[in-house]
Homo-oligomer: A and B are copies of this chain.
Amino acid sequence: MNRNIVRRKNLLYLEIARCIEKQIETAVLKVGDKLPSIRMVCRQHGISMTTAQFAFYELEKKSLIAPRPRSGYYVSNTLKKRLDIPAASKPVNNKPAKSPKDVFEALYDAATQKNITFFSRGVPAEELLPIAKLNKELLRAMREMKGSGTLYEPLQGNENLRRQVARWSFSWKGNLAHDDIVTTAGCISAISYCMMALTKRGDTIAVESPCFYGILQLANSMGLKVLELPTSPQTGVDLDALKNVLSKNKVALCLFVSNFSNPLGSMMPDEHKRKAVQILEHYNVPLIEDDLYGDIYFGDSRPTCCKTYDESGNVLWCGSVSKTLAPGYRVGWVAPGKYKEAVSRVKLFHSLYSTSITHQVIAGFLENGRYEAHLRKFRHTLHTNYLQYVRVISEQFPAGTKISRPQGGLSIWIELPKGIDTMELYEDAMRNKISISPGGMFTLQQQFGNCMRLGYGLQWGDKVENGLKTIGRLARAYY
């Protein structure tokens, strides 16, 4: 290729790129919109595939568009600046300084109030749930179940549900049989049963930091000590720190959200998962793996789990459909490995059975392929929401704001400039009918005072966009 042609090609691809950029700037193409395919661009502009590809690379470099696996390119971001990712946490496990209880309960209490924009919400909004299709399954369950769901199910749980969860484990390279699984009333019940089976008052457990406040509160109420581990917003828990902690402390169990942790959105790479399983095996410490977000990935395929690499049954893998299908159905499960008998007995003693009919509905939904169809659309919506959040936050939040880059899940973690107290911001926001989750809730230590979690499982629209802008405005006022 001589220099002229290169120059011409250069100009051409830049010209095409500039053309698309303009469409984005003038909002002809909006965040989340799909771009025409490369083939289409070739045809429309009479250019080669290579030129079109170069144009797209140029836009991608500017963070204006992003590829989505097996789908094409999407408008991702209209910002000129890219926000930094927060550094890995460095919790200091001294005495608990402050219980986040007050906000915790206030948040749950507020959850049914009207006219509040719930960035604090940990579950998807009604509009994102496949309600009509679930109702169809509900009618079928009512007609087909013996006793229409009024009777008890088997002790270990609905057999078809267990079969479907086992079948589904194939997607994360797991190899579960239906007999490995015990159903529960949502994921938190699964975790509660595991913790009751494996710990007693005074024991120590180790978790990621920041960590979902529900886990911290549960542990607290059970009289457990909590060690918080340094955690990267991208790759999850720091394995050297883990090893160090386990070698120096008697730890009853670890609890990790290996995929799209709440609140960071971090994902442990396969190699980390494998290594974590080895380390825990070595120190003979069971791992509760809270995999409730694993199906909500933005990447190419369903990520593996620690359970994928677990050969001895030391991992208690927990899941649910509360983040993807129906929070109010209370359907969850656990594959407790070698702790199955102990966990089953806790379930039996504390709750007997699960709700027969909702567990049957979910079994049917998983069985007939509706779950996968729903997830495709659902993941797309959430990814678009996430991109919209990044755009608005980049534009509206104070300079120096850092944000996590969730690779799936439902929440984004935001670090505001030092000096901004998100507890104060929480109060301010509530006065503006906006609910956020201040960072202090996600730790029992003195950290994350300038951080917050925002959930993007909402229906995107003006109300949500304006809500984000308001948070930005309130935050800037402190600065």
Query: Quick check: is A437 within 8 A (CB to CB) of the other chain?
Result: no
Contacting residue for A105 out of B139, B348, B353, CB 8 A: B348
B108 touching A348, Cβ below 8 Å = yes
Which of chain B's residues have a CB closer than 8 A to the CB of A185?
Answer: 185, 330, 351, 355
Contacting residue for A358 out of B152, B188, B214, B355, CB 8 A: B355
Q: Given A155-B108, A355-B185, A355-B358, answer yes or no on A150-B349 (Cβ-Cβ < 8 Å).
A: no
Which of chain B's residues have a CB closer than 8 A to the CB of A151?
Answer: 126, 327-328
B152 touching A328, Cβ below 8 Å = yes
Q: Given A108-B155, A355-B330, answer yes or no on A350-B218 (Cβ-Cβ < 8 Å).
A: yes
A126 touching B112, Cβ below 8 Å = no
Q: Given A131-B147, A150-B131, A223-B200, answer yes or no on A192-B328 (Cβ-Cβ < 8 Å).
A: no
Query: Quick check: is A217 within 8 A (CB to CB) of the other chain?
Result: yes
State A142–B329 Cα separation when bound (angstroms).
Answer: 12
A345 touching B221, Cβ below 8 Å = yes
Query: Quick check: is A352 within 8 A (CB to CB) of the other chain?
Result: yes
A352 touching B221, Cβ below 8 Å = no
Q: How far is the CB of A320 from chain B (nearest CB, A)?
A: 11
State A417–B109 Cα separation when bound (angstroms).
Answer: 57
Q: How far is the CB of A214 from chain B (nearest CB, A)?
A: 7
Within 8 A of B (CB), among A98-118: 105, 108-109, 111-112
- Report, as a range, how many residues of chain A touch the other chain: 35 or more
Which of chain B's residues have a CB closer than 8 A to the CB of A155?
Answer: 105, 108-109, 111
Q: Given A349-B217, A351-B188, answer yes or no on A142-B135 (Cβ-Cβ < 8 Å).
A: yes
B346 touching A328, Cβ below 8 Å = no
State A242–B371 Cα separation when bound (angstroms).
Answer: 56
Which of chain B's residues have a CB closer than 8 A to the CB of A12?
Answer: none
Which of chain B's residues have a CB closer than 8 A to the CB of A353?
Answer: 186, 327-328, 330
Contacting residue for A351 out of B150, B189, B221, B358, CB 8 A: B189
Query: Quick check: is A37 within 8 A (CB to CB) of the other chain?
Result: no
Mark A302-319 against chain B: 1 for CB-CB distance below 8 A, else 0: 000000000000000000
Chain B's closest residue to A346 (CB) is: B221
Contacting residue for A329 out of B186, B352, B355, CB 8 A: B355
Chain B's closest residue to A123 (CB) is: B152
Which of chain B's residues have a CB closer than 8 A to the CB of A328?
Answer: 147, 149-153, 353, 355-357
Which of chain B's residues have a CB closer than 8 A to the CB of A349?
Answer: 192, 214, 217-218, 221
Query: Quick check: is A138 within 8 A (CB to CB) of the other chain?
Result: yes
Chain B's closest residue to A218 (CB) is: B349
Query: Quick check: is A325 within 8 A (CB to CB) of the other chain?
Result: yes
Mark A123-162 against chain B: 1 for CB-CB distance below 8 A, else 0: 1001001010011001100100011111111110000000
Mark A189-200 against chain B: 1 for CB-CB distance below 8 A, else 0: 100100010001
Query: Quick check: is A404 within 8 A (CB to CB) of the other chain?
Result: no
Within 8 A of B (CB), among A170-223: 185-186, 188-189, 192, 196, 200-201, 214, 217-218, 221, 223
Query: Quick check: is A354 within 8 A (CB to CB) of the other chain?
Result: yes
Chain B's closest residue to A113 (CB) is: B154
Q: How far is the CB of A364 from chain B (nearest CB, A)?
A: 15
Known: A185-B355, A329-B357. 7 other contacts (CB 8 A): A105-B348, A149-B329, A150-B329, A214-B349, A328-B353, A328-B356, A330-B355
List chain A positions with a Cβ less than 8 A from chain B: 105, 108-109, 111-112, 123, 126, 129, 131, 134-135, 138-139, 142, 146-155, 185-186, 188-189, 192, 196, 200-201, 214, 217-218, 221, 223, 325-330, 345-346, 348-358
**Shortest Cβ-Cβ A-B pairs, 7 listed:** A328-B356, A150-B326, A355-B355, A192-B350, A218-B349, A330-B355, A126-B147
